[in-house]
Amino acid sequence: MSIVPSGAAVLAEAERSLHAHGRVVLCQIVRAEGSTPGKVGWKMLARPDGSFFGNLGGGAFEALVKTDALTKLTNGHAGASEVKRYYFTEEAVKGEPTGMVCGGMADVFLDVVEAAPLLVICGGGPVGQALARAGSLAGFENLISEDRPEFRSPDLFPAETRFAAVGRDYAEDFLEPFRHRDLYVAVVSRCWETDVAALASVLRQAPPRLRYLGLMGSRRKVARVRHEVVARGFDPAQLHAPIGLPIGGDSPGEIAISILAEIIGTRYETSDHADA
């Protein structure tokens, strides 16, 4: 007999999976009548990679729920949450027949949960700090990658900001824990050498859901960084550079606002194209 994980265990795994994948479906039996394989309150988590955690009772019923949950995650776009009824019969007038002969029925809440988009800021200096504050206001989660410990201090950034310690050469796979998330990356490090390293690292890691990649700097600096990145064997074709919208102003706060405005525009342009 399979062990049914506790509701708390499923919820804890849902939180971890949400950080890693960006979207999940939490399935919970909210009503049951008659003979049913699962009980009210049993939970199961569905992830976009086709894996699951938890138990709704097994059999054809659970297989149908899994299929319905994964359908909501198809093509990277989660469908709407809903309560769906399953009958443990071979036929049903309303709801989904499971082909089982128990004779009962169950209502399952298919709760689609999506994480905020992740704003990855390569560089924890004044512009990076201002960008993190602006990103939090706009509903992004922040990840700061920085090689200098003093610029990874939580005191400099909004609460719940995440940090990735990297070397000056950015050799670490710092995006790996988040590679299935929608990523918006701004390279705003302290010099052109670390810009090259950060940009090359992002392109090397090739996260599949990279929605935006921008580089701060003058046109001369951008040209130099592009040349160095190409020399390392990477194609910076999708790079937004110089970063941000041309709204004027050169203070860290003004630069951060121009960057975030471009990121937000890119975010919704991408969503519109995907929904078309």
Tokens for 59? 């059999």
Per-residue confidence (pLDDT) for residue 195, from 0 to 100? 97
Tokens for 173? 């796979």
Which residue stretches of the chain have pLDDT < 70? 1-3, 75-78, 90-103, 270-276
Number of H helices and E strands in the chain, helices first, is 6, 11
Per-residue confidence (pLDDT) for residue 276, from 0 to 100? 44
Question: CA-CA-CA-CA torsion for 265, 266, 270, 271, nearest 10 degrees?
Answer: -40
Per-residue confidence (pLDDT) for residue 1, from 0 to 100? 44
Q: What angle do CA 133, 139, 145 make, to 5 degrees?
A: 55
Per-residue confidence (pLDDT) for residue 272, from 0 to 100? 52
* Percentage of the chain exceeding pLDDT 70: 90
Residue 90 CA, distance from chain mean position: 39
| Structural domains of the chain sorted by starting position, each given as residue range(s) with its CATH number in brackets | 7-114 (no CATH), 118-275 (3.40.50.720)
Q: What distance, in Å, lies between the first and last C-alpha atoms of the chain?
A: 46
Burial 173-184 (b: 16+ CB within 10 A, else e): ebbeebbbbbbb
Per-residue confidence (pLDDT) for residue 91, from 0 to 100? 54
Tell me if 112 sits within 8 A of 23, measured CB to CB: yes
Q: What does the alpha-carbon distance between residue 178 and residue 24 come to, in Å, rounded to a whole number?
A: 14
Per-residue confidence (pLDDT) for residue 93, from 0 to 100? 47
> SS3 for 5?
coil
Per-residue confidence (pLDDT) for residue 35, from 0 to 100? 78
Per-residue confidence (pLDDT) for residue 78, from 0 to 100? 60
pLDDT digits (tens, 9 = 90+) for 184-215: 999 999 999 999 999 999 999 999 999 999 99
Tokens for 45? 């988590």
Tokens for 139? 């509903």
